[in-house]
Amino acid sequence: MSQHLSEQEQVRRENLQKMIEVGINPYPNATIENTHSINDILSGYASDEEAYSKVRVSGRLMSRRIMGKASFAEIQDNSGRIQIYVNRDEICPGEDKTLYNTVFKKLLDFGDFISIEGNAFTTQTGQLSIHVNKLEILSKSLKPLPVVKTDAEGNAYDEVTDPEFKYRQRYVDLTINPQVREVFEKRSKMINAMRKFMVDRGYLEVETPVLQPIYGGAAARPFKTHHNTLDTTFYLRIANELYLKRLIFGGYEGVFEFAKDFRNEGMSRFHNPEFTMMELYVAYKDYYWMMDFMEEMIEYVAMEVHGTTEVQVGENVISFKRPWKRYTMYEAIEHFTGIDISEMDEAQLRETAKSLHVPIDDSMGKGKLIDEIFGEKCEHQLIQPTFITDYPVEMSPLAKKHRTKEGLVERFEAICNAKEICNAFSELNDPIDQRARFEEQLELGKRGDEEAMQLDEDYLRALEYGMPPTAGIGIGIDRLAMIMLNQNSIQDVLFFPQMKPEVQ
């Protein structure tokens, strides 16, 4: 199939051919040893001009103003953009002026990669620039970049306004919008801060299988695949919990993993089929200890990323400073609805949900009904970080029964900006109770609950060897990044979110 080219794309291909004809390789093999980043020069020149008397930087050509034998242009690298001054006789010291007269003036296009050598200086208008004495072509761009414009108030905007374009062609978004790169750099800083916090406490970072013969560790619908050699069905993991706890069984006292998980469910600005979780399990601890740990770690992360515990999120200022507010789930429902559901059976809960106009269906057991009431009536009102604790046993097949409250388990979720960012338990370590819970999940599955857990015999076998009292937590990295980086959609904190196949 022939490629349809726009007029600009056709011109760039013609420029490519002309460049080859004048003896310039538009895609040379090269290792470039840059002496500085552009930001190094912009931030350091004023205090030490001599240090920038010889610089080499590489990046994209982003603008150009031709003025006869000399020109001004702009080059952009990963760290910023700077003006360059190019003089014909300096980059072409001999009689052959092709590099300037033909290549630089006529054949280079915005987006082309170049490398320059020269010295930093300040122009008569006071603009820091690089005076170029050597210029090399590194790579020819065959597609034009969208044009960045400025409105009457001085706000920059560009043609990448369609999310379909922005998320599908993230590489263009990153090129023309430095603030987008900053989001992902801060996301990396957030993850590294969490990793350091845990490593410094002696916990071991590990890896567990993505392909699993039995999916478990969460209530979710999996992706299914087939292994040809083993002739076996596998599932992409929905959580890494059961494998991490196997390592606690094996003798490690603190393990964590930043894991890609996959759930074959709906998509929204809060949900992507592929997402990142951090799960941590620590022996000889319980959920009270883990709440304190969560507060301390996220407070630390906020300080590392922003230098403050207060973070602007939309119209709200979120404070991650300890201590966070705590409600039991029943307390939260009563606080926001005025109804005490703590003694209700399934039939009463069903009637209560209907009276509150909470959508439910016949497949929902007691735990699901409570979860739906909480989600519809409470969650959206929790803006500041808040722990919701002590869930019904039906909702939490992997959590330990509460030490004093019948029918409940020792579990908490942290809700922030109206969304769950973590889920944690005092982990169930009674193998007989665990088997009974799995069997209850199988019954829910028979009633049509597609998210009910599977019965994992190997996990039960491992648990029968014994597990110490253990606290575990799973933190949604993408959700946390949305809040920590003030982004409205999960797609804005993922480089390449899942999308429908592109229509050609």
β-pair partners for 258: 278
Taking residues 87-116, what's their average pLDDT? Answer: 96
Which pLDDT score, from 0 to 100, does residue 1 have?
40
| Residue in 248, 237, 308, 307 with CA at minimum distance from that of residue 277 | 237
Which two tokens mark 307?
A: 């230098």
What is the CA angle 470-474-480, rounded to 5?
145
Q: 314: alpha, beta or left, given left = phi > 0 and alpha = psi -120 to 50?
A: left
Taking residues 411-426, what's their average pLDDT? Answer: 96
* pTM, full prediction: 0.90
CA dihedral 414, 427, 281, 424 (to 10 degrees): -10
Whether 377 has a pLDDT exceeding 90, the answer reads: yes
What is the location of CATH 2.40.50.140 in the chain? 7-139
Which pLDDT score, from 0 to 100, does residue 155 have?
66
Assigned CATH for 179-324+384-493 = 3.30.930.10
Assigned CATH for 7-139 = 2.40.50.140
C-alpha 381: how far from chain center: 24
What is the location of CATH 3.30.930.10 in the chain? 179-324+384-493
| pLDDT range class, residue 440, cuts 50, 70, 90 | confident
The C-alpha atoms of residue 280 and residue 502 are separated, in whole angstroms, by 38
The C-alpha atoms of residue 32 and residue 57 are separated, in whole angstroms, by 9
What SS3 state is found at 424? strand
Which pLDDT score, from 0 to 100, does residue 2 have?
52
The H or E element that residue 473 is part of is strand 470-476
Tell me: the pLDDT tens digits for 212-254?
A: 999 988 888 999 999 999 999 999 999 999 999 999 999 999 9
Which pLDDT score, from 0 to 100, does residue 448 have?
74
| Residue in 163, 194, 159, 157 with CA at minimum distance from that of residue 179 | 157
Q: Give the lowest-confidence range in 116-125, 220-229, 448-457, 458-467.
A: 448-457
CA dihedral 265, 266, 271, 275 (to 10 degrees): 30
Question: 197 near 300, Cβ under 8 Å?
Answer: yes
Whether 171 has a pLDDT exceeding 90, the answer reads: yes
Tell me: the pLDDT tens digits for 143-169?
A: 999 876 666 676 656 666 778 889 999
Question: 93 near 47, Cβ under 8 Å?
Answer: no
Taking residues 22-50, what's their average pLDDT? Answer: 96
Whether 381 has a pLDDT exceeding 90, the answer reads: yes
Whether 131 has a pLDDT exceeding 50, the answer reads: yes
- The pLDDT mean for the chain works out to 94
